[in-house]
């Protein structure tokens, strides 16, 4: 019998776009094994990509630590980076603006994180941004146990 998939994971990544792509693959390998609803998996992946890219491109972060927890009816994602202060919950949710043939492109990340997460909290401490996101996830009753534990 194979060991059950642990319900919490954490990993450090360097602050590069290549590492962000790696983090997406890392997240998918775990969220896939958890048997999450499709919408939850989509939202989790989307928010991770937006936070990571913002931290690298705008915050100039050198490193990021990502932690994920699956619980009975929710999944949480914590994103900690050492970039410039940035609260994705307070940043304006940008949309396309300007004329049809000369519209402005960019800055959509924070709005997407706000839209796709159920709860968002932010604090800045010791030179780090700490974003904690929560997603609803009515999980398959057969997948995993009820009590989360760390690896």
Query: Footprint of other proteins on this chain (CB under 8 A)?
Result: 17, 20-21, 24, 38-39, 42-43, 45-46, 49-50, 53, 93-97, 100-103, 105-106, 108-109, 111-112, 115-116
CB of 50 to other proteins, least distance (A): 6
CB of 37 to other proteins, least distance (A): 11
Between 7 and 64, CB nearer to other proteins? 64
Q: Quote the tokens at residue 79.
A: 């994103």
CB 3 within 8 A of CB 146: no
Between 112 and 132, CB nearer to other proteins? 112
CB of 27 to other proteins, least distance (A): 10
What gap in Å lies between CA 64 and CA 81, rounded to an integer? 4
Q: Which residues of 74-97 are buried (b: 16+ CB within 10 A; e: fewer)?
A: bbbbebbbbbeebebeebeeeeee
């Amino acid at each position: 019998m194979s060991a059950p998939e642990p319900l919490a994971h954490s990993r450090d990544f360097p602050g590069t776009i290549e590492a962000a792509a790696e983090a997406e693959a890392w997240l998918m390998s775990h969220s896939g094994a958890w048997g999450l609803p499709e919408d939850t998996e989509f939202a989790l992946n989307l928010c991770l990509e937006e936070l990571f890219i913002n931290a690298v491109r705008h915050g100039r972060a050198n490193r990021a630590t990502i932690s994920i927890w699956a619980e009975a009816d929710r999944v949480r994602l914590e994103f900690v980076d050492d970039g410039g202060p940035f609260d994705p919950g307070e940043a304006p949710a940008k949309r396309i603006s300007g004329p049809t043939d000369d519209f402005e492109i960019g800055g959509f990340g924070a709005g997407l994180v706000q839209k796709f997460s159920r709860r968002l909290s932010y604090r800045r401490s010791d030179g780090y941004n700490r974003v904690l996101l929560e997603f609803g996830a009515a999980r398959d009753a057969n997948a995993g146990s009820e009590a989360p534990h760390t690896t």
